[in-house]
Amino acid sequence: MQELAKELGVVLPVSFFEEANNAHYNSVAIIDADGTDLGLYRKSHIPDGPGYQEKFYFNPGDTGFKVVSVLGLECVGNINYLQKSICWDQWFPEAARAMALQGAEILFYPTAIGSEPQDEGLDSCEHWQRVMQGHAGANVVPLVASNRIGKEIIETEHGKSQITFYGNSFIAGPTGEIVAAANDKDEAVLIAQFDLDKIKSKRSCWGVFRDRRPDLYKVLLTSDGSKTSS
């Protein structure tokens, strides 16, 4: 993958199942456009629900939310910063904000999500999309979300369990607007171009980071919303 990234002059985020001694992680490595390995991120939030029982085989990630500088983005500016989170991480606005505070200029979310085996009438696709559009708009950064398509059927002790992945990969602009989108059935390549210098200026002018009140956010450090001591 490093040779491929160098050959094509592109940045490659590579998802993989990682075994580290006695632990196992859902991880992604970032390979820069010159083939340099920029390190890995281990998925922080691990879901546990019908069809998505990841706590059975993944440990919670221990890398923290990471932002890396890359050379291979075709845009205005020389070195740009991207953030990579994985699937269930995308539902947590705290993660997106943590990345933006570290200087992320583009948010990336590789995903594998679809139908809910326990409820055939539940379609979370639009919810999934709107949550990430909110991340883009709240942090004034572009966002790229990829999701697989097709069906996966596994045999369980209770019979067959089937998930239909709903695709709909998309790229959102810095106000949350959809600028490119795929459908729920076909493989696709999505392309968008952003002037990151102009977006940086807009982000600064909008004031969402200037007017933050971290002193009021201590409740976010609790698990149940209870008050924390000062």
- Rg over alpha carbons for the chain, rounded to the nearest Å, is 19
DSSP for 93-146, written as a single string: HHHHHHHHHTT-SEEEEEE--B-BTTBTT---HHHHHHHHHHHHHHHT--EEEE
Mean pLDDT of all residues in 188-216? 95
- pLDDT band at 229, cuts 50/70/90? low
Task: Give Cβ neighbours of residue 75 (< 8 Å, ≥ 6 apart).
Answer: 193, 194, 195, 196
- Computed over every residue of the chain, the mean pLDDT equals 89
> For residue 57, with 0-12 CB atoms within 10 Å meaning exposed, 13-18 middle and 19 or more buried, which class applies?
exposed
Per CATH, is 1-221 categorized as 3.60.110.10? yes
Kindly report, residue by residue over 100-126, the tens digit of the pLDDT: 999 999 999 999 999 988 888 889 999
Q: At what angle do helices 125-139 and 93-101 cross, to 10 degrees?
A: 30
pLDDT, tens digit (0-9, with 9 covering 90-100), for 39-95? 999 999 998 887 788 888 899 999 998 888 887 554 333 345 666 677 888 999 999
Tens digit of each residue's pLDDT (9 = 90 or more) over 219-228:
999 888 776 5
- pTM to 2 decimal places: 0.89
Residues 13-30 have pLDDT tens digits of 899 999 999 999 999 999
The Cα–Cα gap between 28 and 128 comes to 21
**Which sequence spans correspond to the domains of the chain?**
1-221
Per-residue confidence (pLDDT) for residue 6, from 0 to 100: 93
Q: Is the Cβ–Cβ distance between 152 and 158 less than 8 Å?
A: no
41-55 pLDDT per residue, tens: 999 999 888 778 888
**217: left (phi > 0), else alpha (psi -120 to 50), else beta?**
alpha
pLDDT attached to residue 79: 40
More confident residue, 160 or 203: 203
Rounded Cα distance, 188 and 154, in Å = 26
Question: pLDDT of 166-180, one tens digit each?
Answer: 999 999 999 999 999
